[in-house]
Copies of this chain bind each other. A is one copy, B any other.
Amino acid sequence: MEKATIKDVADLAGVSPSSVSRSLRGVGGVSAATTERIRAAAESLGYTVSPAAYRLATGRTGTVAVVMPYLTRWFFAELLGGAEAVVREAGLDLLLYHLGDTEIRQRYFSSGILRKRVDGVLLATLALSDPEIHALRSLDVPVCMAGTEVDGFSSVCIDDVSSARRAVQHLVNLGHERIAIIAGDPREPMHFTVPPRRRDGYLAALKAAGLPAGPDLEAQGAFTVEGGEEATVDLLARDVLPTAIFAECDEMAFGALRVLGRVGLRVPEDMSVVGFDNHPMASYFGLTTVAQDVAEQGRMIAWHLVRSAQGNGAKPVRLRAPTHLIVRATTGAPTRRTARAILAGRQPAVAGAKSDSARRSSRPARANGHDPLTRPPMARPAGNKRLATTKEKKG
């Protein structure tokens, strides 16, 4: 079947294209009888409005752009999934842009290419430069952000500061006094805005508790598993060891668990670990973490974007998504034995963890802290009740 046009439908129904357009759009002013005839004609012809013609005539594109710095990372994939559902439900098209480096990004924003192409833009967690923000503003379409707040744009965020603070407070409450952080690399090319906020929460909790903070207790982890491993190796080579580690994201916590297992430190007996995000693998590891529903955030902001793109109530809003601490099995009260003493008694040297020789030690690696069967009283694992399934319930 060839592509039917509005004229074909009009001819078949014996009316003018105007009437077809009116009736199909449901703007009223068409008698019930003609409406029905038109509907039947359109259906029999398999008629669909040409998006190009519609857009040209109305100036509205029926399209939103979703701009992502990463497509494969958990957070962004979840966000995209949530947003897509809402956008499609609204009958709009979703144009996907993976905008890696700043240069590409700015070229895109300022080229105006988006302006004629979309009715709205959804940007995921990017710290934007001033020229970029300016370019976005002059796009002259509603812009929404996820994970970042910018004046004049709507956004959805979690409260990274207070959430991180709560996670660290959990460690404080367990009795930890030397709490290290595995932080995101501040020189991250993507200008991630999240890491510094989570670090602020960490620092706030320490300060409130009168606990020490500083470079001795910080390591960089790049927000990846490997980065978490490197950071942990780094931490374990410090003069004084922590009794607990707060990782700014779960992936880094996974890396920490691996290294701790390798060097023979038990989790949580010898070292507590807290992550952030409740990554799908977190329950696998029994990781204590801060949970956020990222897909829901995608839905929230996409819903707002759709409304704005359709011209309704375009006042910028700042949406807050909730988080909650999930205590599983990687956190517990510190034991009297320090990690240093344990390592000293078992390993040639902590520094040895960096070399191949550590791996040839005769000690078998320990479990990575999941499902520790002896658990200190204060650690209340949520979930993990059954062996076969480990899905957490919300809330």
Could you give, for residues 353-389 of chain A, a 1 whenever the CB lies within 8 Å of some chain B CB and a 0 otherwise?
Answer: 1111011111111111011110000000000011111
The quantity of this chain's copies bound in the complex is: 2
Chain B residues with Cβ below 8 Å from A360 are 373
Q: Indicate if the CB atoms of B387 and A353 lie closer than 8 Å.
A: yes
Could you give, for residues 239-268 of chain A, a 1 whenever the CB lies within 8 Å of some chain B CB and a 0 otherwise?
Answer: 000000000000000110011011000000
Q: With A48-B112, A52-B52, A113-B48 given, is the CB distance from A359 to B388 under 8 Å?
A: no
A88-B97, A363-B373 provided; 19 other pairs, C-beta below 8 A?
A1-B138, A3-B112, A48-B112, A48-B116, A50-B56, A51-B116, A56-B56, A71-B80, A72-B77, A72-B81, A80-B96, A96-B96, A233-B387, A255-B284, A258-B284, A258-B370, A359-B387, A365-B371, A365-B372
Chain B residues with Cβ below 8 Å from A366 are 364, 367
Chain B residues with Cβ below 8 Å from A262 are 371, 387
A86 to B362, CA, bound (A): 49
A61 to B258, CA, bound (A): 50
A residues contacting B by CB (< 8 A) are 1, 3, 46, 48-53, 55-56, 61, 66, 71-72, 74, 77-78, 80-81, 84-85, 88, 93-98, 111-113, 115-117, 138, 225-226, 229-230, 233, 254-255, 258-259, 261-262, 280-281, 284, 353-356, 358-368, 370-373, 385-391
